[in-house]
């Protein structure tokens, strides 16, 4: 996908001033957090399951080649096919080759990896018609926007905006009534999508897990749209990245217990659907062809390096939901497919740190993301590691580097430091002491544009301490 990560700061500020977006974000804010907290509290063995889940993923990553090949073998045995893609382009090309030259009707279930590889644009360029079937994805497709959240793609939209969008876009189906209630909105989307389901040639879904022992792909949804997407069309294509594979169905049950609780606070999502090969002779329904496109796109480079832990991510979105920066600016400001803490780690690794310099820095390192991550991914540490790399590659701003250097020289010379700071506090204390604060101060506009600067009490602690003792 084309991004706008270099525009992060401008986009973040625009988001802060976007009253509609702020209304939508405020509405979403507490819900995910409270529901997760309750769901976790109701499961006393949550910590134990979390440790088990981490061990499952670590074991799999340590033997990733083995499990991926086992998965491929099992898919072949069940009559499906596996396509390996090193890059986003190879992945899109693989999907296009499966769909074939003639123009087709393509249905899609929600898939973040398909966003990552820019699949919709590639299919539309090739002349296919693409319809997203997840309600949130359908809404943003109508609005020509990328998702702003990895599990709630239209979380940035208010109900009013959706009402307007449906009125404008559904008129062509003869649906002219203005729908304002959630239930009516959902029903209208259903009505439109139903006709698409019945006429589609190809269904594309993502996968939450790939099960090596059975060759099954697993999707987790709340709308059931994924099931129709993969069962009704003649061809079912699964796009999934390499780290989605896990050894067994038993392992899946462990991870599923964490996934929905961490994501939406549900004990289980409404639909947990396994696909194993194409339709068999005695199956009542199912696709005639079953393809799995397995995408690397930079992930195998992360194996064993300082970002290895990121490969445990199960895309639950808990880190986004608990990130106060994400909560303030929403997902679009980040400028690429994956927003929030997990995105601020992944995006620089996928599109280059030089193209996403702000992302690792736009974080207070408050640690809430790492705390709630069901896979115990040390997100703050990885964001800091990216800052180390920016510093080494001199990607940070020259002025900031200069200030840091000057501070560093001083901080390593305690005696000189104490002379300089004593002078500084004496001056600032004498100017600001009476008022107790500064409303503005030269060189401190970054601070004082939003808040006063409390004045120093008048002398440094070190100086007062030496004087007293």
Partner 1 sequence: MVSAPDNSPPPSVGLFVTCLIDLFRPNVGFAAVKLLEKADCKVEVPRAQTCCGQPAYNNGDQHTTADIARQVIAAFESFDYVVAASGSCIGMIKEHYPRVLKDDPSWLDRAQRLAGRCHELTAFLVDVMQLQEVESSFAATATYHDSCSGLRELGIKQQPRALLSKVGGVTLKEMEDSEVCCGFGGTFCIKYPKISERMVSDKTANIVASEAECILGGDMGCLLNIAGRLKREGSPIKVYHVAEVLAGMANQSAIGDGKS
Output the DSSP codes for 259-314: HHHHHTS-SS-SEEEEE-SS--TT-SS--SEEEEEEE-TTHHHHTTSTTGGGGG--
Q: Does 89 bind partner 1 (CB under 8 A)?
A: no
Q: Does 254 bind partner 1 (CB under 8 A)?
A: no
Nearest-approach distance from CB 261 to partner 1, in angstroms: 19
Based on CB atoms, which residue is closest to partner 1, 270 or 366? Answer: 366
Nearest-approach distance from CB 330 to partner 1, in angstroms: 11
Place of tokens 């194993």: 276
User: Does residue 181 contact residue 155 with C-beta atoms inside 8 Å?
Assistant: no
What residue spans of 352-413 are helical by DSSP H?
Answer: 368-372, 379-392, 398-411
**Site residues (CB under 8 A) for partner 1, limited to 418-457:** 418, 421, 424-425, 433-437, 439, 444, 446-447, 449-457
**Site residues (CB under 8 A) for partner 1, limited to 3-32:** 9, 12-13, 16
User: Does residue 109 contact residue 221 with C-beta atoms inside 8 Å?
Assistant: yes
Nearest-approach distance from CB 442 to partner 1, in angstroms: 14
Nearest-approach distance from CB 324 to partner 1, in angstroms: 5
Place of tokens 């083995």: 66
Q: Does 100 bind partner 1 (CB under 8 A)?
A: no
In angstroms, what CA-CA distances link 210 with 79, 231, 275, 314, 337? 16, 18, 10, 12, 22
Q: Which stretch binds partner 1 (CB under 8 A): 38-46, 56-64, 264-272, 321-329?
A: 321-329
User: Does residue 153 contact residue 134 with C-beta atoms inside 8 Å?
Assistant: yes
User: Does residue 410 contact residue 422 with C-beta atoms inside 8 Å?
Assistant: no
Per DSSP, 201 falls in state S
Binding mask of the shown chain, residues 367 to 396, with x at each position contacting partner 1 by CB under 8 A: xx-xx------------x--xxxxxx---x
Nearest-approach distance from CB 357 to partner 1, in angstroms: 11
User: Does residue 437 contact residue 454 with C-beta atoms inside 8 Å?
Assistant: yes
Q: Does 344 bind partner 1 (CB under 8 A)?
A: no
- Specify the DSSP element, H or E, that contains 197: helix 182-199
Based on CB atoms, which residue is closest to partner 1, 266 or 462? Answer: 462
Nearest-approach distance from CB 461 to partner 1, in angstroms: 4
Which tokens sit at 237?
A: 């294509």
Based on CB atoms, which residue is closest to partner 1, 172 or 468? Answer: 468
Nearest-approach distance from CB 417 to partner 1, in angstroms: 5
- The correct pick among 400, 423, 427, 431 for binding partner 1 (CB under 8 A) is 400
In angstroms, what CA-CA distances link 393 with 306, 387, 389? 17, 10, 6
Interacting residue ranges for partner 1, rule: CB under 8 A: 9, 12-13, 16, 324-325, 328-329, 361-368, 370-371, 384, 387-392, 396, 400, 404, 407-408, 410-412, 414-415, 417-418, 421, 424-425, 433-437, 439, 444, 446-447, 449-457, 459-462, 464-466
């Amino acid at each position: 996908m084309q991004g706008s990560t270099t525009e992060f700061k401008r986009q973040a500020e625009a988001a802060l001033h976007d009253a509609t977006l702020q209304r939508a974000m405020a509405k979403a804010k507490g819900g995910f957090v409270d529901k997760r907290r309750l769901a976790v509290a109701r499961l006393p063995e949550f910590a134990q399951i979390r440790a088990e889940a981490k061990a499952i993923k670590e074991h799999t990553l340590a033997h990733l080649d083995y499990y991926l090949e086992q998965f491929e073998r099992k898919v072949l045995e069940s009559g499906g096919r596996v396509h390996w893609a090193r890059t986003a382009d190879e992945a899109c090309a693989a999907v296009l080759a499966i769909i074939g030259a003639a123009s087709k009707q393509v249905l899609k279930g929600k898939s973040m990896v398909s966003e990552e590889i820019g699949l919709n644009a590639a299919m539309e360029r090739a002349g296919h018609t693409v319809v997203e079937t997840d309600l949130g994805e359908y809404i943003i497709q109508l609005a020509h926007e990328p998702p702003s959240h990895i599990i709630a793609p239209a979380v940035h939209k208010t109900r009013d905006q959706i009402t307007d969008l449906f009125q404008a876009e559904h008129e062509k189906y003869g649906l002219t009534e203005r729908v304002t209630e959630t239930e009516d909105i959902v029903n209208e989307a259903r009505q439109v999508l139903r006709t698409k389901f019945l006429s589609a040639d190809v269904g594309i879904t993502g996968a939450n897990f790939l099960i090596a022992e059975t060759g099954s792909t697993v999707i987790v949804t709340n709308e059931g749209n994924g099931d129709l997407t993969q069962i009704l069309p003649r061809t079912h294509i699964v796009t999934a990245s390499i780290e989605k594979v896990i050894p067994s169905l038993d392992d899946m049950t462990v991870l599923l217990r964490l996934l929905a609780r961490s994501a939406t606070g549900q004990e289980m999502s409404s639909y947990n659907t396994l696909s194993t090969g194409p339709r068999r002779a005695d199956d009542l329904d199912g696709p005639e062809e079953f393809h799995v496109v397995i995408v690397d796109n930079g992930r195998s480079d992360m194996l064993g390096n300082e970002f290895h832990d990121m490969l445990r991510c199960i895309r639950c979105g808990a880190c986004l939901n608990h990130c106060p920066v994400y909560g303030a600016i929403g997902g679009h400001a980040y400028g690429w497919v994956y927003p929030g803490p997990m995105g601020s780690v992944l995006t620089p690794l996928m599109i280059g740190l030089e193209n996403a310099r702000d992302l690792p820095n736009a974080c207070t390192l408050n640690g809430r993301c790492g705390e709630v991550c069901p896979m115990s991914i040390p997100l703050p540490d990885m964001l800091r590691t990216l800052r180390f790399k920016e510093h080494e590659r001199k990607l940070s701003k020259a002025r900031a580097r200069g200030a840091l250097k000057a501070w560093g020289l001083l901080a390593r010379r305690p005696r000189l430091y104490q002379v300089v700071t004593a002078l500084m506090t004496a001056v600032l204390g004498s100017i600001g002491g009476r008022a107790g604060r500064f409303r503005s101060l030269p060189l401190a506009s970054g601070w004082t544009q939003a808040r006063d600067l409390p004045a120093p009490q008048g002398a440094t602690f070190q100086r007062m301490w030496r004087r007293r003792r």
